[in-house]
Amino acid sequence: MSFKDASKVWNVVSAMLQAEQPRARNRARINAVFNGNPPFTEEEARDNKIQTNVNFLEGTRIIHAARQQFTNAFLKPQNYFAVSLDYGPRDKRTQWGNIITKNINRAMKKSSKYINVLESQFAATVLHGIGPVTWLRDRDWCPSARGTEDVLVPSNTYTSMENLTHFAIYTSFTAADLIRMTRGGEVDSGWNMRMVNELLAYMANIEATTMQTNTWNQQYFPEKVEEDFKENTGYWGSDAVPVVRCYDFYFLDTTGDNPTWRRRIVVDQYNSGAWAVNTANEFLYDAGDRSYGSDIYHLMHTQFADGCVVPPFRWHSVRSLGYLLYAVCHLQNRLRCKFTDSVFEQMLWLFRNVADGDMERMEKIDLFHMGVIPEGLSWVPQSERHTVDYTMLSGAMAMHRQIMAESSAAYTQDVNDGTSKELTATEVMARVNNANALMGSMLTRAYTQQTFQYREIARRFCEIDHADCVAFRDKCESEGVDPSVWRHIADWDIQPERVMGSGNKMLEIAQADRLMTIRPLLAPDAQAEVVHMYVEANTDDPLLANRLAPVDNVPVSPAVERATLAWGTLIDGQNVVLATQINRKDYVQQLLTMLGQAIGRIEREQGGMPTMERVLGLANVIQHIQEQIQIIASDPGNAQIVKVYMDGIGQASNYIKGYVQRLQEQAAAQAEAGAAGNGMDAETAAKIQSMIITAQSKAQIAAANAEQKRVQKQVAFEQDQQRKNASTIAEAQRKGAMTRADIAAMDLKTQADILNQ
């Protein structure tokens, strides 16, 4: 697909505009209800003598509650998303991911524009079901919020946008905008300067005519026009001056080997505001063959509501919360207005009609000070006045409120049904859990869709020259992140940070309390995170939670402390006895860490040539660690962690073998030279090799025994199941035989009874 002709682009845009008109009218009706417009028009109120014509804003409150769910879900967490890497050295990936997560979220959290973009996007999603944001410039990381009506896409476009080949975005330019983009040292060559100059001159002349000042012919006095704009740039960028309305048109060019998105700008022929300028057959901007991305998510991201029911889901078939509530909210407002009029009518003092000659008596009545009604004037008693059926009225209102509650259940925590029934604690938790299940499903969809936006923002932080992006990359590199990471964005795993309780405060606190009860059973790092979550859930203040219970403030476990104390004994070649209650995983992990640090110091400071005593001590440490791994391997569920430990031990053993070989070579060289040295003799080397081989064999045997026990348990379980199945079948057959015998006996008895008769 390629668009070279401006008139053809406008024809496509015009067709999408025409198809959008019925949808636009429906959106306008929804906006009117939830903006607080009265339910009756002025003509309807006047013709039907309706005195009360107000919007009671029930729907508006529901919409605000739904928006609050999104706000809590996406803006409350400390980070928008977390980054983990599948690139680089394995021992650096976690560290680099944490550094990137911290710095990229810090830049995004400081952007007030991005906060407003998210709020606008989710407001549009709740009200109309479609919340688009766009990146119209490849120099910005932060997208721009767009109204649902500003984005034109063809009919039958799927919500996955897999079949989207072109779309248009409504935009407008003031004179100041056009001057800023088309003047200066680095002007984009895609601008049609002839049309730009004509539009600027036209806007200047229109404004000059309005202000009754001199007009300038752009053809003869272009410098005068330029100076006028320069002199009053603030004014020419305000709402007081005319604007040029345009459509930013994007299409997927499939003529080459790699499809790519390209851009054109055409002036709106219906509402351009510049009738004297011929804009029909030319582009205002033509980017030519410049690529704006190979993926639609490089240009636009959209949040969709989950009101669709007919697959495949289409863009223009999305049904929002505003759509679901429109009719019932409109009817409820009308019903309340009529009910209020009826209440006011009940407060009137009604009199019967009097004869023409007695009209003066009514004018002389002072009901506030007189207790006697003049003769000829009578009240209309209550029994003769019209009375509203309050039972039916309250039932209708309750029905409407129930429909509102059911329609908004996936977005809001609850809508009061008017009964004001006091609930028990169990009923409260049941209702909260039910609401959380619905809202959790809705937020899961929103989180999944938002991941694509976060991925595009991360890509831009890695590639573009925006000041925030350059500062982000410099900060990460200064903290140790390798610059090659920026070229491997495909190896980034981005996950939105989810709020606990799905935005429900009561459920959030309940979950935090439950986690605190099991906190002693968790690992030390998990305990610190649970305390942090508990403080944040009860204060709604992430900064306070960071100060009171920082996640990185992990307490030292007893196993880690025991490992650090045992190191000195083990490195001297002595044995260490452990209690059975110790956390052996933490213990082994700490010893492996210290073993790696010791080998690293030998390599850096001693050139890979330790003393014989140090090699013996390291071999003793390895043997002790493998004994602990043997105990851990007795549980089949630890097979994965045992493999990791064994890999670490294998690497350390290779270093020890290398040290043994070097010491042997050193001893041989010294023996040949006849010099006395502290090298390692063959007997000592054999002892070390034997220690390592024996320990490795024990660990492998333990792992094999654990696997054998697991297989034996599985076989025993399957045999037990077969035995139970056979027993069940035999029991069923026995009961079937007894049933058949009983039926036969009953038949014989029946036949005997018949014969006796």
Question: Tens of pLDDT along 246-257?
Answer: 999 999 998 878
Residue 355 lies in a domain: no
Q: Distance between CA 684 and CA 689 in Å, rounded?
A: 9
673 and 651 part of one domain:
yes
What is the pLDDT confidence band of residue 737, given thresholds at 50, 70 and 90? Answer: low
89 and 102 part of one domain:
yes
Q: Per-residue pLDDT tens for 488-528?
A: 999 999 999 887 776 667 777 878 888 888 887 777 677 88
> pTM for this one?
0.64
Is 341's pLDDT higher than 80?
A: yes
Which of 655, 636, 607, 653 lies closest to 709, judged by CA? 636
Q: Distance between CA 273 and CA 213 in Å, rounded?
A: 20
Q: Read off the pLDDT of each residue in 649-678 and give the average, rounded to a whole number.
A: 75
Element (H, E) at 738: helix 682-756
577 and 724 part of one domain:
yes
Cβ proximity of 144 and 135 under 8 Å? yes
Q: Determine the structural domain holding residue 538 and report its residue range.
A: 518-555
Residue 635 lies in a domain: yes
Q: Read off the pLDDT of each residue in 116-138 and give the average, rounded to a whole number.
A: 91
The highest-confidence range among 91-105, 493-507, 632-646, by mean pLDDT, is: 91-105
Residue 357 lies in a domain: no
277 and 397 part of one domain:
no
Cβ proximity of 71 and 122 under 8 Å? yes
Which of 102, 99, 742, 736 lies closest to 478, judged by CA? 99
Q: Residue 154: what pLDDT?
A: 94
Residue 526 lies in a domain: yes
What is the pLDDT confidence band of residue 659, given thresholds at 50, 70 and 90? Answer: confident
The highest-confidence range among 511-515, 556-560, 564-568, by mean pLDDT, is: 564-568
735 against 125, higher pLDDT:
125
677 against 350, higher pLDDT:
350
| Burial of residue 163 (number of CB atoms within 10 Å: 0-12, 13-18, 19+) | exposed
221 and 267 part of one domain:
no
Give the strand order in the sheet containing 300-304. Answer: 144-145, 130-134, 300-304
Q: Which of 2-16, 597-611, 733-747 has the lowest mean pLDDT?
A: 733-747
Q: Residue 538: what pLDDT?
A: 83
Cα dihedral: 369, 372, 377, 379 (round 10): 80
Q: Distance between CA 24 and CA 22 in Å, rounded?
A: 5
Q: Read off the pLDDT of each residue in 107-123 and give the average, rounded to a whole number.
A: 93
Q: Residue 218: what pLDDT?
A: 43
Q: Per-residue pLDDT tens for 392-417?
A: 767 777 777 777 776 666 556 554 54
Alpha helices (runs of H) in 232-286, residue ranges in sequence order:
233-236
538 and 564 part of one domain:
no
Structure tokens at 469: 């992006």
Scored b (16 or more CB within 10 A) or e, 518-546 reads eeeeeebeebbbbbbbbbbbeeeeeeebb
Q: Distance between CA 218 and CA 226 in Å, rounded?
A: 9
617 and 477 part of one domain:
no
Partnered with residue 83 across adjacent β-strands are 494
Cβ proximity of 533 and 512 under 8 Å? yes
Q: What are phi and psi of 187, to 5 degrees?
A: -95, 130
Q: Residue 615: what pLDDT?
A: 85
The highest-confidence range among 262-276, 340-354, 732-746, by mean pLDDT, is: 262-276
Alpha helices (runs of H) in 110-192, residue ranges in sequence order:
112-128, 175-182
Residue 539 lies in a domain: yes
628 and 480 part of one domain:
no
Is 235's pLDDT higher than 50?
A: no
Q: Per-residue pLDDT tens for 147-195?
A: 999 999 999 999 999 999 999 999 988 888 888 888 877 788 899 998 9
Q: Which of 220-224, 634-638, 673-677 has the lowest mean pLDDT?
A: 220-224
Q: Per-residue pLDDT tens for 417-473?
A: 455 455 554 554 454 444 444 455 677 888 889 999 999 999 999 999 999 999 999
351 against 635, higher pLDDT:
635
13 and 161 part of one domain:
yes
Which of 644, 54, 83 lies closest to 336, judged by CA? 54
Number of domains in the chain: 5
226 and 263 part of one domain:
no
Q: Residue 576: what pLDDT?
A: 86
Residue 170 DSSP class: E
The rounded mean pLDDT for the chain is 78
Q: What are phi and psi of 280, to 5 degrees?
A: -75, -35
The residue count of the chain comes to 757
Structure tokens at 20: 């959008």
Looking at residue 516, its amino acid is M
Cα dihedral: 471, 472, 474, 475 (round 10): 110
Q: Residue 461: what pLDDT?
A: 95
Q: Distance between CA 500 and CA 494 in Å, rounded?
A: 19
Is 485's pLDDT higher than 60?
A: yes
Residue 753 lies in a domain: no
Q: Which of 145-149, 478-482, 653-657 has the lowest mean pLDDT?
A: 653-657
What is the pLDDT confidence band of residue 115, given thresholds at 50, 70 and 90? Answer: very high
Q: Per-residue pLDDT tens for 193-227?
A: 989 888 888 877 765 555 444 444 444 344 444 44
Q: Residue 298: what pLDDT?
A: 92
Quote the Cα angle for 619-622-628, to 5°. 145
Q: Residue 653: what pLDDT?
A: 87
Residue 375 lies in a domain: no
Which of 32, 87, 78 lies closest to 59, judged by CA? 32
Q: Read off the pLDDT of each residue in 323-340 and give the average, rounded to a whole number.
A: 88
Is 327's pLDDT higher than 80?
A: yes
For residue 387, how many C-alpha atoms fall within 13 Å in the half-sphere facing its CB? Answer: 8
What is the pLDDT confidence band of residue 299, given thresholds at 50, 70 and 90? Answer: very high
Q: Residue 237: what pLDDT?
A: 46
463 and 507 part of one domain:
yes
Q: Residue 113: what pLDDT?
A: 94
| Burial of residue 144 (number of CB atoms within 10 Å: 0-12, 13-18, 19+) | middle
Is 130's pLDDT higher than 90?
A: yes
Q: Residue 40: what pLDDT?
A: 92
Inter-residue long-range contacts of 232-236, CB under 8 Å, 24+ positions, other chains counted: 233/176, 233/179, 234/176, 236/174, 236/175, 236/176, 236/179, 236/203
Is 562's pLDDT higher than 50?
A: yes
80 and 118 part of one domain:
yes
Q: Distance between CA 565 and CA 553 in Å, rounded?
A: 22
Residue 233 lies in a domain: yes
Alpha helices (runs of H) in 633-681, residue ranges in sequence order:
639-673
